[in-house]
Homo-oligomer: A and B are copies of this chain.
Amino acid sequence: MKKHNFSAGPCILPQDVFQKASEAILNFNNLDLSLIEISHRSKDFIAVMEQAQQLALEHLGLEGKGYKILFLQGGASMQFINVPFNLMKNKAGYLNTGTWASKAIKEAKFVGEVVELASSKDSNFNYIPKGYDVPTDLDYIHFTTNNTIFGTQVKEFPEANCPLVCDMSSDIFSRQMDFSKFDIIYAGAQKNMGPAGATLVAVKESVLGKTDRAIPSMLDYRVHAEKDSMFNTPPVFAVYVSMLTLQWLKDLGGVAAIEKKNQAKAELLYNEIDRNPLFKGFAVKEDRSSMNATFNLVDQAHKDSFDALAKEAGLNGINGHRSVGGYRASLYNALPIESVQALVDAMQELERKA
Contacts and interface: CB of A to CB of B under 8 A. Distances in A.
Nearest to A8: B39
Contacts of A38: 7, 10
A61 interface: no
A26 B107 CA distance: 37
Interface stretch (A210-218, A261-269, A300-308, A339-347): A210-218
Given A73-B197, A214-B110, A238-B237, A22 B25 contact: yes
Interface stretch (A133-141, A227-235, A285-293): A227-235
B233 A196 contact: yes
A146 to B, nearest CB: 16
B107 A216 contact: yes
Contact of A74 (B76, B232, B237, B238): B232
B316 A5 contact: no
Contacts of A225: none
A232 B77 contact: yes
A280 interface: no
B19 A37 contact: no
A74 B22 CA distance: 24
Interface in A231-290: 231-238, 241
